[in-house]
Amino acid sequence: MTTTLTVIVILIALFIVWTIYSKMTWKQIMVGSDPISQEQIRKKYDQFQTSGIRSKLKTEARMESAQTADGLVSGQSHGSSTLLKLVVHRKDVEKMNAL
C-alpha cells in the first residue's frame, strides 16, 4: 500500500513539474479575438514557420456574459467568442525579434 501511494505521489509531482516547465517553454506573443487580428496572427505564424521559428497557434473559446443585472439574474449570455493566441518557443524569441 505504501509503495502504491509513493508511486502516485511521484507521478503527481512529475506532472506538476512538466506542466510548469511547458508553460515556461512557450511565450505568448500575440492574441486576437476579431477576424482581422486573427488573420494577422495567422500570417505572422506562417512567416515564423518559413523562417524556422518554433511557434504554435492556440485557440481558446470564451463565453461573454451579460453585463446587465437582468442578464446576470436570468443567466443569459451574449454568445461566445474565440481567442487566437500565437506562442513562440522561448529559445526562438531572439530569432523572432531579428525578423
CATH number at residue 85: 3.30.70
Which region among 27-36, 37-46, 70-79, 89-98 has the lowest average model confidence (pLDDT)? Answer: 70-79
- Quick check: is 4 in a domain? no
pLDDT at 78: 54
User: C-alpha 80: how far from its chain's center?
Assistant: 17
Q: Is the pLDDT of residue 22 over 70?
A: yes
Question: What whole-number distance in Å separates Cα of residue 40 and Cα of residue 95?
Answer: 19
What is the extent of the structural domain holding 58?
26-98
pLDDT confidence tier of residue 73, bands split at 50, 70 and 90: low
Cα–Cα separations (whole angstroms), residue 92 to 28, 49, 68 = 12, 11, 44
Number of compact structural domains in the chain: 1
Q: Is the pLDDT of residue 74 over 70?
A: no
- Quick check: is 30 in a domain? yes
- The H-or-E segment that residue 60 falls in is strand 55-65
